[in-house]
Amino acid sequence: MAVIEVKDVRKGFDGLHVLKGISFEVNKGEAVCLIGPSGSGKSTMLRCINLLEDIDGGSIRVLGEDIAQLKDINTYRSKVGMVFQQFNLFNNMNVLDNCMIAQKRVLKTDPETARQKALLHLKNVGMADFVNAYPSTLSGGQKQRVAIARALCMEPEILLFDEPTSALDPEMVDEVLNVISDLNKQNMTMLIVTHEMGFAKDVADKIIFMDSGVVCEQGSPAQIFDDPQNERTRQFLKRVL
Amino acid sequence: MSLGKCLEILSKYKLSFLLGVRTTLIVAVLGTLIGLLIGLVVGGIRAIRLDKTAAPYKKVLKKAVDIIFRIYIEIFRGTPMMVQAVFIYYLVYTNIVRWDKMVAAIFVISINTGAYMAEIVRSGIQAVDPGQNEAARSLGMSSMQTMFDVVLPQAIKNAFPAIGNELIVNIKDSSVLMIISITELMFQSNSIAGTTYRFTETYFVTALIYLCLTSISSIILNAIEKKMNNTKTSLPQSDTDFKSISMAKEEL
Ligand SMILES: Nc1ncnc2c1ncn2[C@@H]1O[C@H](COP(=O)(O)OP(=O)(O)OP(=O)(O)O)[C@@H](O)[C@H]1O
Ligand SMILES: [Mg+2]
C-alpha cells in the first residue's frame, strides 16, 4: 500500500525550476532512499511533503489524502516526522523537554505520559543518560539521535530524513545510521535523503536517483547500484562509490 | 565651583532631589517595562513569517499590520521625545481629556521605548536559527506555539543586553519630560538652581545622582544577565548572536 504518492510534482523558486515533474511512491513499512547530486532538488522534495513548501503543479498524496487540500496542517505534520541535517534541537530546552514539548502542545498528552514516552524513545536511541543535558553540550551524533527520538515521540506514520549524517564527524555517522537501521527493522516507513551509499544499499527497499529536478531512475538497490540503466546514474555512482 | 557648596545644596535640598529621583525611577522603570511589552507584541508580530501555504487574507492582513507598525517605529524613533511629549500631552489635553501629567509622561516614554524595543525584539527573533522554527512546525506546533515556546525565550535572552540598555537610556532621557513639568530629577534640579542661583554646583550634584542611578542599574542588569547564562540554556555562540542583533539594528 502506497502511503506517499508523488505525481508529476513541479516546483520553482522565482523562475528557477527545481522539481520538473517528479513521480514516485513509498509503500507502508518501506525504507526509500533518495540520492542524487547536490542541487538536484532532494531537500525541496522532502520539504514539499512536509508542507514547508507548496508545489506549483502535480499532486502529493500522503496516507490517502491530497495534502494540498488538508484543513489541519498541524495534525498532518505531527504524523509525518522530519529529521534535519542540522538537527535543529530547541536550544532553550534540555533533551527531555525537546522530546516532550510537541507531545504536550500538539497531541495534548498529559505531562507524565509525555515524559514516559520521551524516556522510552531516548532509551531506544541510547540517549537516556542525557535527559537533563542542553543541546549545546552534546556532540553532533548525540544531537541527531535526540532529534530522531523527538520525532518518534509524536508516533509518526512516516519519517522523512534530510541528509541526517551529512553534518556529522565521520566517527559519529554510524551511531546515527544504526538507529535508522533499527527503525527500518521495526517497519517504520521512511524516506531518506542520503549520501551514504553503503547504507542506502543495506537498508533501502527502493532507491530513487534524482538529477536536476527529475527522477532519472528508480528501483531496488541491486538494480541501481549493480546494473544502472541511465547514463546519469552511472556517472553519479562512478563519482561517489 | 566648590565641593563644599555642592554638599550644602545636597543636604539642604535632599528631599527635593529624592522626590526627583523617585519620579525619574517610576517613569523610567515603568516606561521600560511597558515599552518592552509593546516591543514584544509589535516586534513579535513583525517577525512572524507566514507559511507559504497560508491563506491569502492572512497574508494581506499581515502586510497591512506590518506597514502600520513600520510607520509607528519610524515616527517615534525619528522625532525627539521632548517634542513627542509636548505634542501628545497637549493634543490629548485639549481634545480628549484633561489627563494627569504623570500619566502623560509614562504614556509618552512607553510608546517611545516601544518603538526601539520592537526593533530589538524583532532582530532578536530573527537571530534565532530558523531551523528550530522549521523543526517545531514539522512536529505540528502552530506558529504561535513555536513563537512562545521556542523562539521568544531565546530571542529575549539574546537581546537582554540591548533591552537592559533601554532602561539606562530611559533613566537619562526621561529628563526631557520636564518639558511637561513632571517633578522628575531634572525638573527638581532646575527649581533648586533657580532658588540658590548656584547653577554649576546644583547641576554637578544632579549629574552625580544620574550617574549613581545608571551605575546601580547597570550592576543589577549584569547580575540578571549572568544568572540567565548560568542556567545553561545559553547558546555557546551567544556572542555572535548578539553581534548579529546589533548588526541587524544598524541595517535599519
Ligand atoms: N528557498 C529557496 N529559494 C530559492 N532557491 C532555492 C530555495 N531552496 C532551494 N533552492 C534551490 O533549489 C535547488 C535545489 O535545492 P535542494 O536544496 O532541494 O537540493 P538538494 O538536492 O537537497 O541538494 P543538496 O544535496 O546540496 O542538499 C538549488 O539550486 C537551490 O539553490
Ligand atoms: Mg539538501
Q: Give the pLDDT of residue B250.
A: 43
Q: Give the pLDDT of residue B16.
A: 95
- Taking only the tens place, the pLDDT of each residue in A12-58 is 998 899 999 999 999 999 999 999 999 999 999 999 999 999 999 99
Residue B246 has pLDDT above 70, yes or no: no
A positions 91-110 inside 8 Å of B (CB): 91-93, 101-102, 105-106
- In chain A, the largest separation of any two C-alpha atoms, in whole Å, equals 55
* HEC profile of chain A: CEEEEEEEEEEEECCEEEEEEEEEEEECCCEEEEECCCCCCHHHHHHHHCCCCCCCEEEEEECCEEHHHCCCHHHHHHHEEEECCCCCCCCCCCHHHHHHHHHHHHHCCCHHHHHHHHHHHHHHCCCHHHCCCCHHHCCHHHHHHHHHHHHHCCCCCEEEEECCCCCCCHHHHHHHHHHHHHHHHCCCEEEEECCCHHHHHHHCCEEEEEECCEEEEEECHHHHHHCCCCHHHHHHHHHHC
Helix (H) or strand (E) holding B141: none
How many angstroms is it from A37 CA to the middle of ligand 2?
9
Residue B248 has pLDDT above 60, yes or no: no
**Burial environment of residue B126 by CB neighbours within 10 A (0 to 12, 13 to 18, 19 or more):** middle
Q: Give the pLDDT of residue B237.
A: 40
Rounded Cα gap, residues A111 and A40, in angstroms: 42
Q: Minimum mean pLDDT among A18-22, A114-118, B122-126, B225-229: which range?
A: B225-229
Q: List, chain by chain if needed, residues with CB within 6 Å of any ligand 1 atom.
A: A 13, 16, 18, 36, 38-44
Q: If you average pLDDT over residues B62-84, what whole number do you get?
A: 96
- Taking only the tens place, the pLDDT of each residue in B201-220 is 999 999 999 999 999 999 99
Which residues, 6+ apart, have CB-to-CB distance to A47 below 8 Å? A53
pTM metric for this prediction: 0.84
Q: Give the pLDDT of residue B170.
A: 97
Selected residue with higher pLDDT from B231 and B251: B231
Bridge partners of A19, per DSSP, are A11
Q: Give the pLDDT of residue B133.
A: 94
**Burial environment of residue B25 by CB neighbours within 10 A (0 to 12, 13 to 18, 19 or more):** middle
**Is B157 touching A (CB cutoff 8 A)?**
yes
Using pLDDT thresholds of 50, 70 and 90, give the confidence band for residue B231.
low
Rounded Cα gap, residues A233 and B23, in angstroms: 76
Q: Give the pLDDT of residue B1.
A: 81
**Contact, B110 vs B27, CB < 8 A?**
no
Bridge partners of A26, per DSSP, are A4
Q: What are phi and psi of A159, to 5 degrees?
A: -120, 135
- Taking only the tens place, the pLDDT of each residue in B149-195 is 999 999 999 999 999 999 999 999 999 999 999 999 999 999 999 99
Q: Give the pLDDT of residue A241.
A: 79
C-alpha cell at B96: 480628549
Q: Give the pLDDT of residue B2.
A: 87
Residue B240 has pLDDT above 80, yes or no: no
**Contact, A161 vs A193, CB < 8 A?**
yes
**Is B226 touching A (CB cutoff 8 A)?**
no
**Is A50 touching B (CB cutoff 8 A)?**
yes
Is A52–B232 a contact, with Cβ atoms under 8 angstroms apart? no
Q: Specify the DSSP class assigned to residue B82.
A: H
Q: Give the pLDDT of residue B232.
A: 53
Rounded Cα gap, residues B212 and A96, in angstroms: 44
Question: Percent of chain B having pLDDT more than 70?
Answer: 90
User: Minimal Cα–Cα distance from A75 to chain B, Å?
Assistant: 6
Q: Specify the DSSP class assigned to residue B237.
A: T
Using pLDDT thresholds of 50, 70 and 90, give the confidence band for residue B48.
confident
CA B187 to chain centre: 21
Q: Give the ligand whose atoms come closest to the C-alpha of residue A195.
A: 1
Average pLDDT, chain B: 90
Strand ranges in chain B using DSSP code E only, listed in sequence order: none
User: Minimal Cα–Cα distance from B63 to chain A, Å?
Assistant: 20
ipTM over 0.85? The verdict is yes
Q: If you average pLDDT over residues B64-91, what whole number do you get?
A: 97
**Contact, B17 vs B184, CB < 8 A?**
no
Flag residues of chain A having pLDDT under 70. none
